[in-house]
Structure 1
Amino acid sequence: MDNQNIIGASKNKADLNQAYERFVPSKMYELLGKSSIADLQLGDQVEMGLTILFSDIRNFVSISESLRPKETFDFINSYLRQMDTVISQHGGVIDKVMGDGIMAIFPSNANDAVDCSLGMLKQLELINEQRLRANQASFQIGIGLNTGICMLGIVGGINKQEATVISDAVNLASRIESLTKTYGVQLLISENTYFNLKDVSNYSIRFIDRVLVKGKNQAQSIYEIYDGNNSRIRQLKDQTKNIFEEALAHYHYKKVEKAAELLKKCLAINPDDKPAQIYLERCRMFSNKGLHSGAKELSQQIEWSTAFDVGNEQIDTQHLELFNHSVKLLELINSGIDETVTDNIISFLDKYVVHHFDTEERYLLDNDYPFFDHHKAQHLNFIKSFGLLKSEIKSNSKSKIFLMFRVQTLLIDWIVNHTLKEDKHFCKYITDRISG
């Protein structure tokens, strides 16, 4: 073959690879440990920590009904092209496009996914500015994030195969994105993502709700990140954040009269706050009909059982000790016992958390657990959150109900969800490794 034919063949191969990558991005097969799309085989899979992003255009059906078919495709493709660029710039890769919806994955860290989400909202502002100049209606999107250990692999049949992610973390991310419609907000994250952020103080965050996911018994907290709102809305949410979260704590403990009073104060400052409007209506529903929309009755305290065991007696004993002392802290705050007793419990937890994490991390290292860094990062971030909780308790500026709620969401819920998900994962990995 002469040089010209070789060059032509190489160009054709490069063009073909570029065409393939429109359907399976190179980063996707690189995550699977492959150097070329041709190396992919049905059943190839890898397990890794990912943050999953779902986004969706609000009222897309209504928008498309006013457009001709070509205009609809031009609109959606222009939007997707711009969002694809933002996602790539933040280390993400689109897993699939579902009409106007996007599912993307971020293998590095949760911060990349949050920063990308804020970048998408910024890009949306530019898109809407262009549309308004062209006398076209603006539109909004909702974004939901969740973080967890997932399986990435090739699925399909003989004629159709694709790379995708399989995990209940995906289902929760999708559910959270759908809740942005319910609460009228742009960006919601799960507590899994919240506890995987390097520093939550870098973002404007407020608690929104505790939700139960289908097939799960333990509630998950969800948070709004509102850095993507315009400066006026951000300022109003900053101004009312303490009142808003205090109101939600009272609502979830069924102290609806106080919750309603606080929500009215919040709405007097920020009348367009949709979540505050929703919770005020929920207070009225409870007062009038006894209907409460809380994910789980906080008065029905979780009971520790063998379902939480991870197969290591020392670690299981430490989990129980942490849980029991966390519940004791909640009870002490509720009863209003002398601060010295509460301080003793906090001091114990402070030291015991570090002791437990050290024990668990040495166990993971001894067993060559491949997700050690992911696990350790969660421990470090929890220590930061516990530090915030300690300062709130010692400040004497928060109500009893609010502090109880914070102990529940930042301490007890974390211990339970972390044990049931993350710790159960290393339990299965180590058991399989020993038996295999």
Structure 2
Amino acid sequence: MHTLAQLRAGELSGITRLDLSCGLTEFPREIFELAESLEVLNLSGNALSSLPDDLHRLTRLRVLFCSDNQFTELPQCLGQCTALTMIGFKANRIVEVSGAALPPLLRWLILTDNCIESLPTQLGERPYLQKLMLAGNRLKALPPSLNQCHRLELIRIAANQLSELPQWLLTLPSLTWLAYAGNPLETEADAAALQATPLIDWAALRLEQQLGEGASGVISRAIWQRADGSLKPVAVKLYKGEMTSDGSPLHEMNACITAGLHANLIGVLGRIHGHPEDQQGLVMQLIDPSFRNLAGLPSLASCSRDVYADDCRFSADVALNIARGIASAAGHLHQQGITHGDLYGHNILLNERGECLLGDFGAASFHAVEDSPQTRALQRIEVRAFGILLGELLARTDSGLSDERRWALETLEQRCCQADVLARPGFSEVLRDLENL
């Protein structure tokens, strides 16, 4: 994090990224002195409510973060920034979004956790739009012009006021990751599954070290003293209350429970009962430390695609084990009326043998289990996510894969990713093809 003193003293000349979080109420004019180099500007965590009309003087600016400020409208000056591709205004007080505020090269827009009731038609006139984060607003509809956004791959519309998913949304050729939980349109979670989940008393848990923290909660290793007095090492996830980019953490908890048991999912042992601060949480299977993340999160440059280590390589057997395991897990979820919504390498844990677990249900949504064109479309959107994952695995598999098997897998990848959503195979067919190999 940089300081205002450094900026004013001229110590930051030539930098490409500036991070300032120091209670700003006005945009520091000294930032314009960095115009020849500045590409990423992060002003999150301040008290700003406006930006200067001449922001376009930052001619190299590609990325702007202004989350956790006090904006009530998306500044129209953004539309004049010709190099700007990524905009983040999460957790402000934004009510108004004008078409004039959308730059021509817009690729990634984050407006999570605001008060937006409608979006301008011009949003669909941004041909490079690839990632759109709108969870936690007051939207009752999406602009029909978005049907022109043929590059749109990820959209988060959870926790709004949508009464239906528009038909055109389910036909977008590139749509891959969709989260819509917490809207009136969503099918209810399986109440029987929620009720059948055992309650585990908080007093029976002894938390040890923290294992990780995400947007939705904190995971810790713990010891569970069971009713018979035996001790069992477990993982405990305590959910945060605030809105995430994917939606409500409590919807995530319900999806984890409803998912049920599967060899390639992290098992839920029970719900926490009696937390002193009434915090919601789950007790889950403790994962062996030999498991690691398959990939890293998408970067500013990759936008909607995972980042893999340069030396990441798989044998044919490991790659096929991963593909079969994830296809099986995703197919199981669909049978329970759940779309994962975030089927990515960074949400997959694996060990050296290719044993894998699909985690992070933050973007999961419920749909009807009965077969219908809408249900099939929702499921086939997720099949495209699997196709992308399969392609990433194939690109990093260079031993033990015959030309014939590679051709078959590349053909499957292409079928999963084809533009016609309903022409894609379902996961039962995908799994059958993989098992035939």
Q: TM-score, normalised by structure 1?
A: 0.24
Structure with greater contact order relative to length (CA < 8 Å, sep ≥ 6) = 1
Give 1 or 2: higher helix fraction.
1
| Higher alpha-carbon Rg | 1
